[in-house]
Structure 1
């Protein structure tokens, strides 16, 4: 036993000795240096990209410095000794400008146990280009790719295309792929980043979305990010199981999307057991959809709870499934969506006709062959619309692919509509619409979320309700509005 313990200590000490900090300083460094001290720092991204990093190594960029090009580090850490990229010194975060020369300014390709923090990243080319990103995390024919952390980054000025079908673009893309070796991420964390002025999207992903090739990423956490001035999708996990999306703020949307191009705030696609909670989405202005939240197709067991939604042009939430493709590998259905204890204020305010020739913006849009949708204990405030022609609909059931939702529960919701909002049933089947508190009596001038909750907290549907207390506590602590 003593021999084993001594061997373990020796291995630990060896690991600590072998780990190296490398310093990079564009102002005072030199690529002929060893890079192992601040006085002997490297100068360029090129030098960093040439080095195969070892477990426990760190690459530290001098505060206030700026670099042009792509950062594409090599090497992987271990569970015990991750590789880190960060900053040192006082001043602004180091900035890396891709200049639109590569698809991404920061590319983490086939590396694991890797953490990147506290950098500014841009990727603005002379002209817009599809598939342009600030950051790409990509694993290909790799197997299980463990523990990637992106934290404290500011990603901005990424000029992709607004059109999704032409490639779009985003601040962050993660992608797992490969025909030889099934590959996925395990423990991918996107935390406390600031993304703004990127086209088209903020955070999106690609993976094995077909059920015939199903190999979902696991333990994905997207938390604490601030997303501003981005016109398209905010956060979209694809081909994941158990993703947690919480404490993110999406705001200050831009009306620059092409006619008919759809986007929404936070939504999973082809993902299971997604939990979306304690987020705030406001001012989404996509030409189509434009809701704060969405449970999209090929998704099972999505839970959307304790969120705030306000001033979103397309409404509070979309729950949908494409009847034309139901049963195909990319669409096994949208089943068991739960929407509960959310607060929606003044959603559904699209000020012009969408491509369906309507001012289309129901607070709840429920469409296509859905199964077992449970909507309960939500609080919805619908003031009068600013333009008389704007539609005033609480919930609209539609067909998508000539199929309507089945087995929907809409109960115990609190709705205050200044002018009675319509409920459009279409041909939906097995709807339980009961025990909702719907009234026109309310102070519709009040838009402060915590004051709205204070006005309703003694309602019998909410009083002494532990789940409502979670929503209340979140709204109470939300400082970015």
Structure 2
């Protein structure tokens, strides 16, 4: 064989070895050195700086030593794996079985990805509790963003713990008016954040089985042109802002998440206001089998609310408990959205002007708000059926329906209101004007009320054929879904109506108005029962 052929053959083999075969790279802050090649546990790298500067190939794994703390940040720009060969940040067994920790104190992000595709982050703990800070900005556990216009895909964050993320150092005091601003005007710490901009597009995002707790603002905040967003089985606790917030999304699934104590104010660096979850300006999302509990704040702070400019958002099979702002909230210019087969327990307990509260809590609210100083309109074609709502005796259940709402269906719900009920005005910035109005295209019938006065006469819509009686829950006032199983079969079984389309609505809900199973997964046979649970 000629020398030229030998050189050519060797070159091909070298190319194949570097382009076809993925490599595992090890990082160990105790035994490592950035002068090592990093490709074995015996010769690991030492720092996250090395991880940031190295040019990884599709299929490569970056493995941090378990049980160790790595100070610094990982920053990747324009790094791309392949669909079947993502680049993965994970761990290997070293000191103990605890996840490796990235301590990003003094850095803006634990991990920052810019213009990247086919990246997976799994099994890492990240914290970033203050430290040196720039003049402005935000601090994130994980930040994905785009600078260059383009199409990006396949970002996965799985089984990570993100905690104690604050822009400011302990002891920082926010002014008393900061919590009154719409989303906060100061710098904060965030859990996981996606910010897609500059005409970029991102598809196939998976955020699942993570734990996010004790951050200054939102736990998971995802904004921009993203198609196929999946937020699954995460636990989000004690966020200073909302638990989760989404906008700009097309096709999303938010399922199996546990959100508790959003809007937390147990640290002066937190915002102190926020719904468990809210959407804004997106199209087509299912929000199901989640729990939203103990949302706090002087305004907003519902369990899950649909902010303005959304289409096709379905909130189903969720538990909403003790959220200051309320249960069902649909704002203006929303089209064909629904709350169905949910259970609400003692939601909407906030009282306007009590403490710092400047907005009433409500168990049911249709609002025409579409932004400050803009003419209000909608929501349009709002469906609210087969929900079970319980409020205790010392809680005043409040409702509000805007004059500009158009197309409403309220049917087959159970309103178990032990105490008083009250009609209130929608109150974003300025309350809507009081007075009579006739809403167009309303179907309000066949709801079960514990007492005739459960639905206030001052609300602009009312049930044309109400049912009165006690569903006889297994444990009224309990915290679990099964506590709200009715036992009064004569009042509940097959007493629901088949849900029709709202008059004038030719579309309905994007997955249909007919439901096959209840909140517990029981098959719906015959006519639907009343409320969220079918009697077997």
Residue 170, structure 1, aligned to residue 170, structure 2: no
- In 1, the alpha carbon distance for the partners of 2:358 and 2:38 equals 62
Q: Deviations over 1:124-149 (max 9, x none)?
A: 11489752211101122241111000
User: 1:341 & 1:299 partners in 2: Cα distance?
Assistant: 20
**Structure 1 Cα separation of the partners of residues 71 and 153 of structure 2:** 29
- Determine if contact 1:156/1:195 at 8 Å carries over to the other structure: yes
CA, structure 1 residues 198+284, in 2 after alignment: closer, same or farther (shift >3 Å)? same
**Cα distance, 1:258 vs structure 2:** 10
| Change in CA separation of 1:231 and 1:456 when aligned onto 2, cut-off 3 Å | farther
SS state at 2:42 partner: helix
Q: Which secondary structure does the structure 2 equivalent of 1:86 belong to?
A: strand
Structure 2 match to 1:111: 116
Q: Secondary structure, in 3 states, of the residue corresponding to 1:28? A: coil
1:270 aligns with 2:251: no
Q: Deviations over 1:97-153 (max 9, x none)?
A: 111322x11101111101000111011114897522111011222411110000011
Structure 1 residue ranges (4+ consecutive) displaced by more than 3 angstroms after TM superposition: 12-17, 126-130, 160-163, 252-255, 257-262, 354-359, 422-428, 440-446, 461-470
Shift of 1:16: 7.7
Deviations 1:295-336 (A, max 9, x none): 111111111111110111111122112xxxxxxxxxxx2111
Closer, same or farther: CA 127–433 of 1 in aligned 2, 3 Å? farther
Which residue matches 1:449? 480
Equivalent residues in 2 for 1:197-276 (5 A)?
A: 197-207=214-224, 216-253=225-262, 255-256=264-265, 263-276=274-287
| Aligned partner (choices 28, 32, 37) of residue 29 of structure 1 | 32
Distance (whole Å) between structure 2 residues aligned to residue 407 and residue 37 of structure 1: 64
1:472 — aligned with what?
Answer: 520
Find 1:123's aligned residue among 128, 131, 148. Answer: 128
TM-score normalised by the chain length of structure 1: 0.82
Q: 1:435 to 1:111 in 2, by over 3 A?
A: same
Residue 79 of structure 1 is matched in structure 2 by: 83
Q: Deviations over 1:173-196 (max 9, x none)?
A: 101111xxx211100111111000
Distance verdict in 2 for CA 1:49–1:252, change over 3 Å = same
- For 2:36 and 2:232, locate their aligned partners in 1 and report how far apart those are by CA, in whole Å: 38
1:139 aligns with 2:146: yes
2:236, 2:290 → 1: CA distance?
A: 11
**Shift of residue 357, structure 1, vs aligned partner:** 6.7
CA pair 258-413 structure 1, distance change in 2 beyond 3 A:
farther
CA distance 1:202–1:462, change in 2 (3 Å): farther
Which deviations, in whole Å up to 9, do the C-alpha atoms of 1:423-477 show, x marking residues without a partner? Answer: 5586461233211111144567531323333235842358999948441149xxx
Contiguous gaps of at least 5 residues in structure 2: 1-12, 169-173, 179-183, 369-376, 426-433, 452-469, 499-513, 523-536
Q: Distance in 2 between matches of 1:32 and 1:311?
A: 55
Q: Matches of 1:50 and 1:184 in 2, distance apart?
A: 25
Q: Residues 51 and 23 from structure 1, CA distance in 2 versus in 1: closer, same or farther, beyond 3 angstroms?
A: same
Contact 2:237 2:243 (8 Å CA) reproduced: no
CA distance 1:260–1:217, change in 2 (3 Å): closer
Residues 20-43 of structure 1 show CA distances to partners (whole Å, capped at 9, x for unaligned) of 100000111111110000000001
**Whole-angstrom CA distance in 2 between matches of 1:457 and 1:109:** 57
Partner of 1:52: 55
Give TM-score scaled by structure 2 length.
0.74
1:185 aligned to which of 191, 199, 202: 202
Aligned pairs for 1:319-334 (under 5 A) are 319-321=330-332, 333-334=333-334
Contact preservation (8 Å) 2:29, 2:70: yes
Once the two structures are superposed, residues 202-226 of structure 1 have per-residue CA deviations (whole angstroms, 9 ceiling, x without a partner) of 011232xxxxxxxx31011011100
1:359 Cα shift?
6.9
* Aligned position for 2:212: 195
Partner of residue 493, structure 2: 460
Change (3 A) 1:48 1:351: same
CA distance, structure 2, for counterparts of residue 79 and residue 229 of structure 1: 35
Counterpart residue number, 1:154: 161
Distance 1:245 1:61, change over 3 A: same
Shift of residue 356, structure 1, vs aligned partner: 9.2
Asked which structure has the greater CA Rg, the reply is 2
Q: In structure 1, how many angstroms separate the alpha carbons of the residues matched to 2:488 and 2:211?
A: 33
- Going from structure 1 to structure 2, the CA distance change for 1:244 and 1:36 (only over 3 Å counts) comes to same
- Partner SS, residue 303 of structure 2: strand
After superposition, the CA RMSD in angstroms is 3.0
* Structure-2 separation of matches of 1:432 and 1:381: 22
Structure 1: distance between partners of 2:494 and 2:30? 62
The 1:98/1:452 distance shift into structure 2, 3 A limit, reads same
Q: Which moved more, 1:12-21 or 1:117-126?
A: 12-21
Aligned partners of 1:259, 1:438: CA distance in 2, in Å? 39
